A and B are shown apart, each in its own frame.
Chain A
Amino acid sequence: MIEVIELVKKFGDFTAVDNISFKVNKGEIFGLLGENGAGKTTTLRMLATMLRPTSGRAALKGYDTQKEPEKVRAQIGILFGGETGLYDRLTVAENITYFGELNGMSKAAIRERIRYLAQAFGMEDFINKRAAKLSKGMKQKAAFARSIVHDPDIMLFDEPTSGLDVTAARDVHDFILRCKEEGKTIVFSSHSMSEVDKLCDRIGVIHKGKLVDCGSVEELKKKHGDDDLEELFVRLVGAK
């Protein structure tokens, strides 16, 4: 579903992503685990076609990110951490509609999808309220709905729980698991061991732009002889 081959991204002399390769199978949650500045966001931005790789290639559902960026974007939904990135002066429905229209959906399909998402996320009471007037939790639900309005096969999550309290982070986790249940392929970046342990089928540990190891959580624990993922992570990045 997702194939990353020897991907490199340089900003001037600085190498943000250094020759990383990994594969994500259909319906799998793949976690990119790394510290701040490790290269996780840059990798996700390259997968989302926002940044062009310096070398190497990435393909999503067989579409090359550089040769067919529009086709790649049609397959993905993305959710960023921190601010929800909603348009405050638009209502929740208008926010979702805008992204539906931009992703090529018909008006009828958008209407139907909004009805479904409002029910699925319990947003019926505030679907027609402006985003500025919503609580943080409501905004988060709206952001979830917006990211999957076009029902993408691939979801990219860039530190989605960053800055959230426990309840809000739990809602994000539930949303990611819901996406998995719907058969979506997920790439999820985080620096939290516990959520990676909880959610991911496989993980790639990324440090200073390099992928230092890759595999299922169990495989990595067995391989490095440590049941504590945090210890394992420290040993992996410390060794490099």
Chain B
Amino acid sequence: MKLKHVMIVLKKEIKDLIRDRRTIISSIVLPMILIPLINIVMGGSIQKLEKDMNENVTVALSQSSNTAEVRELVRDRILSKNPNIVLVDADDPARAIENDEIRCIIDVENTYAEKLNKGQPIKITLQYDESKTKSQAAAEIVSMAVGEFSAEVVEERIVAMGFDPAILQPVQVEWENIAPADKGNNMMLEMLLPFLISMLIAIGGIPAATDLVAGEKERNTFEPLLTTLPDRGSLLLGKYFAVTLFSFVSLVAILVGLAIGYMVNPNSLTVGIDSGLQGIMLDPLAIVLALLITIALGMTFSGIQIALSTIAKSYKEAQTYLSFLMLATMVPGYATMFTQATDLSPVMFALPVMNTVAAFKMLLGGRIDYFNLVLALGTSIVFVAVTLAFAASLFKKEKVMFRN
């Protein structure tokens, strides 16, 4: 095996791939635009939904309780501290919910005034449509308003009886965040970014791997290549590095897309759920280790992709195998997606994909554990060696190389 031959193959493959519009569009341009765009749109939708749920909460009284007295009670007392809740008139409240004219119906029992005077509990029924998120949220908001009204009535009664209302609250709970200022809550970012990085690096080389072996076989360019001076190891390594490089280019392109998305709308990075980028641990050594783990993951998957592309009889067959690989990659990715930085176990650092997810969760969570990072790097190097050896063994197998 000669480095010179590896470099010749690598140089040619890069030139060839750069000129392949299909590969450039599918692995760089589309994800670079689509992923941030999806984040921005999805984030925007989530934020809009959240805003819509809390603003202009339109409610109406049920037909049986739609009297001037009840309206006064509801508007002036129960909902008085909630300007976001708007009491409207509806001839047919149930239909009004169905038509999205109102979100919730308030039904106050007819004997409420008498019961209130007697100090007896009154029943207020909230009718809503569980199939509608906004209706469900409205019922919760109104329920809280009713709760506040209930507390006020209790307080009035206690005062009327000559007691201090404080006797109803023997214990006061206070919340205090003692986490260092640099350890913020990046829950969404911890969940999304490590998953995205791991997935992209693991699958980014698929179009290149499909083209560089199965594609070459199909276009009959592979056999002439095998009759040239370099041994198969050099040919393999040239292609392997091209696939690895391409998976990185793909990852970098998407990260650039995400950064642009962040600049356009900071909430896009976390799909609008939290503002993100708080307390991220910028420990240089940990960052280097995480990057090395990512590179190793890219190389591991390049080895697998080249191997599958070599086994395939045709370009289409390679695409099928590599689609399965893409799905298989998602399993460890999703398995660790919801794990928080504080709950990472050493096992996660010893398995491919999971280890990269875990390393980036650690960085984002601001809790660095060098033992686990080194463990992840060590196991990653083993995976790189195993997958590369597997691909190399296939390149030497006549049955596989000349299957078609």
Contacts and interface: CB of A to CB of B under 8 A. Distances in A.
B16 A89 contact: yes
Contacts of B12: 87, 90, 94, 98
Contacts of A80: 220, 223-224
A56 interface: no
A90 B15 contact: yes
A146 B220 contact: no
Interface in B218-232: 219-221, 223-231
A11 B402 CA distance: 11
A48 B227 contact: yes
B227 A73 contact: yes
Given A48-B227, A51-B402, A74-B229, A102 B8 contact: yes
A99 B235 CA distance: 12
Interface string B193-236: 00000000000000000000000000111011111111100000
A102 B402 CA distance: 21
Contacts of B75: none
Interface string B100-118: 0000000000000000000
B258 to A, nearest CB: 30
B15 A102 contact: no
Interface residues of A, number: 34
A49 B15 CA distance: 28
A83 B8 contact: no
A102 B229 contact: yes
A84 to B, nearest CB: 8
A48 B227 CA distance: 6
A89 B20 contact: yes
Interface in B375-404: 398-399, 401-402
Given A78-B227, A94-B15, A85 B402 contact: no
A146 B224 contact: yes
A45 B227 CA distance: 9
A55 to B, nearest CB: 15
B5 interface: yes
Nearest to A158: B223
A103 interface: yes
Nearest to B222: A85
Nearest to B398: A51
B224 A52 contact: no
B2 to A, nearest CB: 10
A48 B223 CA distance: 10
Contact of A85 (B8, B19, B224): B224
A209 to B, nearest CB: 16
Contacts of B402: 45, 50-51
A73 B229 CA distance: 5
B224 A11 contact: no
Contact of A83 (B19, B219, B231): B219
Contacts of B220: 80, 82-85
Given A70-B231, A146-B224, A101 B8 contact: yes
Interface in A11-70: 11, 45, 48-52, 69-70
A150 to B, nearest CB: 8
A225 interface: no
A211 interface: no
**A70, A99, A102 pick with most chain B CB within 10 angstroms:** A102
A50 B15 CA distance: 26
B307 to A, nearest CB: 19
Most chain B beta-carbon contacts within 10 A, residue among A50, A52, A76: A50
A19 B19 CA distance: 46
B227 A49 contact: yes
A98 B225 CA distance: 10
B370 to A, nearest CB: 44
A88 interface: yes
A87 B221 contact: yes
Interface in A193-207: none
B220 to A, nearest CB: 4
Interface in A102-121: 102-104
Given A74-B229, A87-B16, A89-B19, A99 B224 contact: yes
A49 B219 CA distance: 21
Contact of A11 (B5, B8, B227, B399): B399
Contacts of A52: 398
Contacts of A83: 219-220
Contacts of B230: 102
Given A11-B399, A87-B16, A89-B19, A99 B228 contact: yes
Interface of B: 5, 8-9, 12, 15-16, 19-20, 219-221, 223-231, 398-399, 401-402
28 contacts: A50-B223, A50-B226, A51-B402, A52-B398, A70-B231, A73-B227, A74-B229, A76-B227, A78-B223, A78-B224, A78-B227, A80-B224, A83-B219, A85-B219, A85-B221, A87-B219, A87-B221, A89-B16, A89-B19, A90-B16, A94-B12, A98-B8, A101-B8, A102-B8, A102-B228, A103-B228, A130-B19, A156-B227
